[in-house]
Structure 1
Amino acid sequence: MPYANQPTVQISQIEANSTVLFDEFISHRIGLIPLTSDDVVDRMQYSRDCTCEDFCPDCSVEFTMDVKCQDDVTRHVTSADLISSNPKIVPVTSRNKEEGSEYDDTDDILIVKLRKGQEVKVKAFARKGFAKEHANTTQITLYATQHTPNLRNDQAPFDPTGFPNKYFYNVESCGSMKPENIVFSALARLKEKLSNLQTQLSHEIQSDAEE
């Protein structure tokens, strides 16, 4: 669903890093962590449409991570160590684990391992985007379509010359949004783009007629 919106970490500022991984590697790993966005993504502005000079609560969410290993035991730095300025936009593994939730047994996402004396301190900003612009903003891990030819039952052999009249969609979310919300968000975005195209085309036709 390339038109569905989702905030992802796009800017990472590494303030301290004495780990075995270089700064770009850590930034890349943080940028791939899916964030919850069901309830707030539609209220966020795109950074290109925002009037702020850099970052603001209207177009971005700030994350901080400050971890230092003080013991002889290896310290695992995970998505749980990413602290969000907005409690509604957090790593998918950090959401409230309600009883009976499908995320009860989900492990936090490993970012880096620290030995005694090593530390990592990061300030990061998540912005809204969609997968057509960059793949790290996609919300789905599996997307498939299948059609059923006209006047045939679902178990019939595939007929390449048949006319499809029914489509089956299989959407598996990475956890940032519910599958149904991903589909509705993508359809709304596509509808908006088509409406803008129709409006622009009408203006051009009117302009040509006046000339």
Structure 2
Amino acid sequence: MTARSPELEILEIKNDTITFILSNTDISVANALRRVMIAEVPTMCIDLVEFEANNSVLCDEFIAHRLGLIPLISEEVNRFNYTRDCSCSERCDNCSVEFRLHVKCTDDKARDVTSSDLISQNDMVIPVSSAQSLNHNNNTPDRPEQEIPIVKLRKGQELKLKAIAKKGVGKEHAKWIPACVATYQFQPHIVINQNRLDELSDKQKEDWVASCPAKVYSYVPHQRNQVTIEDPLRCMYCMECKKKADTYGKPDLVTIEQKTDRFIFTVETTGALKPEDIVLYAIQIIKRKLTDIQTQLQTQIQEG
């Protein structure tokens, strides 16, 4: 079997998403990359909550669950140890980050307790909503629409707790998953049969182009090539254009195939990590796993 050299081409990077093409490989590698991004890229999340006071309408377990699902900035996650690997007896600054929350409602108006009320003892690990608010407002207080609600307090109610964030991965608990979306599809290969297209009227061409909900094709009247493929990467294999061609009695008007060695990935982050960092971490983890397998195999051969 010929060895392959996978290649990665970035199409678009935004603050919370990345789109790229993984080529010159097969579906096993593509799926391995997707699964590692979801299940094995580490982040920091609240894992332990100690309540000192809570007379709100929500019980301790409910609030603890909500705290665990608040994404925390984890760009420095590699500086922390897993609790199981740390040399400390219980917890320390090398394997955990402490948060404090103390809110008491003294007004007649209800008080919203949000992620901005979580005070971190380590500036490297803070709620994602707090970091976003600071970036948008040039270090001004959090904007309400960016805060993550935890509970509402009425007059006289109080919530006081200590929370401990730890390093973990998605296969241990979903709260540690860094990507809220990690999908891929085969890159489409679309070919229009120009001879069949020329047999259509202008109205039929316009209707055929409009049949594609993803706007893959474009139609410009009074030009030599009236119908062109505007962006094949938009294709989602709904086959509406094929169905429309069948109504015209021209099933061979367009051919849509999948390139089985090219995959379009879309990764959207929860905010804990940058989307490109999720991909890089996943590649490093796969590389380390393959190296471990190679080492074990060589050891077995030498002992065998």
Same fold (TM over 0.5): yes
- What's the counterpart of residue 199 of structure 1? 295
- What's the counterpart of residue 113 of structure 1? 152
* Bigger shift: residues 58-67 or 129-138: 129-138
On the 8 A contact 1:5/1:186 being kept in 2, the answer is no
Unpaired segments ≥5 residues, structure 2: 1-36, 192-231, 236-253
Structure 2 counterparts to residues 156-171 of structure 1, below 5 A: 158-159=256-257, 162-171=258-267
User: Within 2, Cα distance between the matches of 1:15 and 1:171?
Assistant: 39
Structure 2 counterparts to residues 43-122 of structure 1, below 5 A: 43-95=79-131, 97-99=134-136, 106-122=145-161
Q: How far is 1:204 from its partner? A: 3.2
Query: What SS is found at the alignment partner of 1:97?
Result: helix
Q: 1:19 aligns with which of 30, 49, 56?
A: 56
In structure 2, relative to structure 1, the CA distance for the partners of 1:136 and 1:158 (3 Å cut) is: farther
Q: Which amino acid aligns with 2:97?
A: V
* Bigger shift: residues 144-153 or 9-18: 144-153
Query: What SS is found at the alignment partner of 1:98?
Result: helix
Query: What SS is found at the alignment partner of 2:109?
Result: coil
Q: How far is 1:99 from its partner? A: 4.7
In structure 2, relative to structure 1, the CA distance for the partners of 1:106 and 1:6 (3 Å cut) is: farther
User: Within 1, Cα distance between the matches of 2:143 and 2:56?
Assistant: 30
Q: How far is 1:149 from its partner? A: 5.7
* Matched length: 204
Larger radius of gyration: 2
- What's the counterpart of residue 184 of structure 1? 280
In structure 2, relative to structure 1, the CA distance for the partners of 1:105 and 1:195 (3 Å cut) is: farther
In structure 2, relative to structure 1, the CA distance for the partners of 1:158 and 1:129 (3 Å cut) is: farther
Structure 2 counterparts to residues 5-44 of structure 1, below 5 A: 5-38=42-75, 40-44=76-80
% identity of equivalent residues: 43
Pick the structure with more helix per residue: 2
On the 8 A contact 2:105/2:158 being kept in 1, the answer is yes
Question: What is the Cα-based RMSD across aligned positions, in Å?
Answer: 2.3
Query: What SS is found at the alignment partner of 2:134?
Result: coil
Query: What SS is found at the alignment partner of 2:135?
Result: coil
* Bigger shift: residues 66-75 or 195-204: 195-204
Q: How far is 1:190 from its partner? A: 2.0
User: Within 2, Cα distance between the matches of 1:9 and 1:184?
Assistant: 24
In structure 2, relative to structure 1, the CA distance for the partners of 1:100 and 1:119 (3 Å cut) is: closer
Query: What SS is found at the alignment partner of 2:66?
Result: helix
Q: Does 1:148 align with 2:187?
A: yes
Deviations 1:45-89 (A, max 9, x none): 111110001111111111111111111110100000101011111
User: Within 2, Cα distance between the matches of 1:198 and 1:129?
Assistant: 26
TM-score between the two structures when normalised by the length of structure 2: 0.62
Unpaired segments ≥5 residues, structure 1: none
Greater relative contact order (CA < 8 Å, ≥ 6 in sequence):
1
Q: Which amino acid aligns with 2:119?
A: I
Q: How far is 1:24 from its partner? A: 0.5
Q: Which amino acid aligns with 1:57?
A: D
TM-score between the two structures when normalised by the length of structure 1: 0.87
User: Within 2, Cα distance between the matches of 1:115 and 1:77?
Assistant: 11
User: Within 1, Cα distance between the matches of 2:263 and 2:183?
Assistant: 10
Consecutive aligned runs of 4 or more in structure 1 exceeding 3 Å deviation: 103-106, 149-159
Q: Which amino acid aligns with 1:192?
A: R
